[in-house]
Amino acid sequence: MADTIENQYLTFGIDGDTFGVSVGKVREVLEYIKPTKLPKTADFLKGLINVRDVGIPVVDLRSKFGLPEKEVTQDTAILVIEIEGSDGQVMIGAVADEVYEVIEIEADHLEPPPRFGIKIDSQFIKNVGKRDDKFIIILDLDKAFSDEEERTLEEVAPGVEPA
């Protein structure tokens, strides 16, 4: 088994389903911090948090995926993720119900996303992984935001320096 970053995913839960995002996109995982609300922004944009003196916009993935809101619990976390915006890299915080672990999924255990029968828009889904008889929805958060939404995130977030 090749131990490379390309087939490693940080897994997390939203609405009882397991999702994953490439570890190459994840900068850190934070305990939930209540974001400072910004006026007149999209419903999915919950506000800003301060991470080492940098304002990071916080996105509620439940709202973005059209799922009902949920009370914050001690398991709620914010994933600090780098996404590709129209003007370069943008750092965002993504709220997850809970965070599980980093797992490795080989390419032969990944399938293309289903075209129907899922709760979220399939354009956000890169692949569906199989592991231990369970499915993990691998997200492509670069495609989760429209051009207008990306511009909003870029306006409230500074550019990201390459790691």
Identify the DSSP state of 159. Answer: B
Classify residue 161: in a domain, yes or no: no
Boundaries of domain holding 114: 5-156
What is the domain count for the chain? Answer: 1
State residue 5's pLDDT score. 74
Give the CATH number of the domain where residue 111 resides. 2.40.50.180
Interatomic CA distance for residues 90 and 5, integer angstroms: 20
User: CA–CA separation, 111 vs 69, rounded Å?
Assistant: 29
Q: What span, in angstroms and rounded, lies between the C-alpha atoms of 150 and 144?
A: 9
* Of 23-32, 62-71, 117-126, minimum mean pLDDT range: 117-126
pLDDT digits 0-9 by tens, 58-95: 999 888 888 888 999 999 999 999 988 777 788 899 99
Does any domain span residue 100? yes
Number of H-type helices and E-type strands within the chain: 2, 11
Calpha distance 96→11 (Å, rounded) = 10
In a domain, 162, yes or no: no
